[in-house]
Amino acid sequence: MGRGPRAWARSSGLSLPLLCLWAACGSATSPPVLVSPVPGCPCRDPGLCRPLSGQNQLEVFAFDVGGQDWKHYDWSKLTTIATFGAYDPQLLCHAHANEVRVVLKGAVPIRDIIDQINRTAWVLSKVRLAKSQFMDGINLDLEEAVAYQSAEYFALTQLVKETTEIFHREIPGSQVTFDVAWSPDCIDGRCYDYVEIANSCDFLFVMSYDMQSQIWDDCVAKANAPYYQTLSGVQAYMKLDIDPSKLVLGVPWYGYDYPCTHLFEAGRCALKSVPFRGAPCSDVAGTQIPYKKIMQQVNKSITGRFWDDYQKAPYYIYMVNKTYHEVWYDDPQSISLKALIVKKFNLRGVGMWNANLLDYSKNATAEKQTEEMWTALYPL
């Protein structure tokens, strides 16, 4: 991201109210024009309440679900934070000081925006909120099942177009993004117009995780984000002629803990059949587990860390109340392999769900594990 007047003022020690902007200064002999403080700005430097603009060489997109973990993120790597927790003005100021965008969460039942008047009203309400909180855009996260060419199908496409048009007009340089499943092939019934949506917004965040939401073959525990499945999903988007620069690859910073109805052998944990959206089996049979808890548990498990070379993912087994559990997750090895997909196909960038799932305590082991996860996002 370029170093404009705001960044130069911070590096030089000047505050923006005293900074003479080139366009407003006039001749060298003219008196300087002072920039007025931004009304309602929560930051000490009012320049930090001005929206960021420009495109990064590599997008690193993080979701934040609230709390104070953001104070310990690797700000040297981040470019965008999507706030899915309560609004925190301190987070905004800190992010802008580090040239990192902060964007709203955009979620609305699709049935509520079929009507054009309701749709426009919703978008305008989000623009007003973004302006009042000095944010840099919005991340649209809907994830509902939508039938091909239904009323919802067309309404969703129009929502993305209208959101992008209005945000770009009202907040110059703002960013509008849309979260999509790991593949465009109607995953979980999400039969969207992916081409038009990609054309309309700044980029798609490809949620390359929860890939066992619909298990059609053997009902056994599997990796949350198998490498080749991740790769095939990205390639499927590109086969639709979606420009790779419109794709950000999302990776999981969590895993799934599956209780086994029967453990045949390591890597063959039979699951209770829990149907989901037509599939006879799903990851609903397990529970999500954050990376920080996985790291506390893996070395105390029966097996320690195993590696599945076909799925290119780690897992381990433990027992509680006479029931075997198999935990599949991602770690620096599996994430760095997926991050290389970003480099190979020149994707827009990489991101994760979610940045709060690491251990940000001062424990030396935890600090090393956390640093390795942030580093894994950068392809070699």
Q: pLDDT tens-digit profile of 8-55?
A: 233 333 333 333 333 333 333 333 433 446 889 999 999 999 999 998
For the cut 90, the answer to whether the pLDDT of residue 3 exceeds it is: no
Mean pLDDT of the chain: 91
Q: How far is CA 88 from CA 84, 96, 128, 214, 361, in A?
A: 11, 13, 17, 36, 21
What is the predicted pLDDT for the residue at 25?
36
Lowest mean pLDDT among 62-71, 88-97, 124-133, 270-279: 270-279
Calculate mean pLDDT across residues 132-153: 98
pLDDT tens-place string over residues 350-373: 999 999 999 999 999 999 999 999
Between helix 151-170 and helix 116-132 the angle, nearest 10°, is: 40
Q: How far is CA 328 from CA 146, 221, 265, 298, 321, in A?
A: 29, 8, 15, 11, 20
Of all residues in the chain, the percent with pLDDT exceeding 90 is 87
Which one-letter amino acid corresponds to residue 219?
A: C
For residue 143, indicate whether it is catalytic.
yes
Measured CA to CA, the distance from residue 94 to residue 71 in angstroms comes to: 8
Is the distance from CB of 282 to CB of 276 less than 8 angstroms?
Answer: yes
Q: For 358, which DSSP code?
A: S
Is the distance from CB of 69 to CB of 87 less than 8 angstroms?
Answer: no
Q: Phi and psi of 194, rounded to 5°?
A: -65, -35
What is the predicted pLDDT for the residue at 106?
98
pLDDT tier for residue 5 given thresholds of 50, 70 and 90 = very low
Calculate mean pLDDT across residues 202-227: 96
What is the predicted pLDDT for the residue at 38?
81
Measured CA to CA, the distance from residue 273 to residue 278 in angstroms comes to: 12
pLDDT tens-place string over residues 262-301: 999 999 999 999 999 888 999 999 999 999 999 999 999 9
CA-wise closest residue to 77 among 177, 1, 162, 159: 1
- Hey, is 209 helix, strand or coil? coil
What is the predicted pLDDT for the residue at 380?
62
For the cut 90, the answer to whether the pLDDT of residue 201 exceeds it is: yes
Lowest mean pLDDT among 15-19, 148-152, 307-311: 15-19
Q: pTM of the full predicted structure?
A: 0.89
Calculate mean pLDDT across residues 119-139: 98
Q: Please state whether the peptide bond connecting residue 354 to the residue before it is cis, i.e. omega within 30 degrees of 0.
A: yes
Q: How far is CA 280 from CA 220, 221, 239, 247, in A?
A: 12, 14, 29, 31
Contacts from 214-219 at CB under 8 Å and sequence distance 24+? 214/187, 214/188, 214/276, 214/277, 214/278, 214/279, 214/282, 215/279, 215/280, 215/281, 215/282, 215/283, 216/279, 216/280, 216/281, 219/270, 219/271, 219/273, 219/280, 219/281, 219/285
CA Rg value for the chain: 23
Calculate mean pLDDT across residues 178-195: 97
Annotated active-site residue in 59, 143, 144, 162: 143
Residues in CB range of 332: below 8 A, 6 or more apart: 372, 373, 375, 376
Residues in CB range of 275: below 8 A, 6 or more apart: 281, 282
Starting from the edge strand earliest in sequence, which strands make up the sheet with 306-308, in order? 287-290, 254-259, 323-328, 313-320, 306-308
Is the distance from CB of 272 to CB of 261 less than 8 angstroms?
Answer: yes
What is the predicted pLDDT for the residue at 39?
87
CA-wise closest residue to 213 among 285, 143, 153: 285
Is the distance from CB of 288 to CB of 183 less than 8 angstroms?
Answer: no
Of all residues in the chain, the percent with pLDDT exceeding 70 is 90
Measured CA to CA, the distance from residue 272 to residue 141 in angstroms comes to: 29
Residues in CB range of 330: below 8 A, 6 or more apart: 223, 224, 225, 251, 252, 253, 255, 291, 313, 314
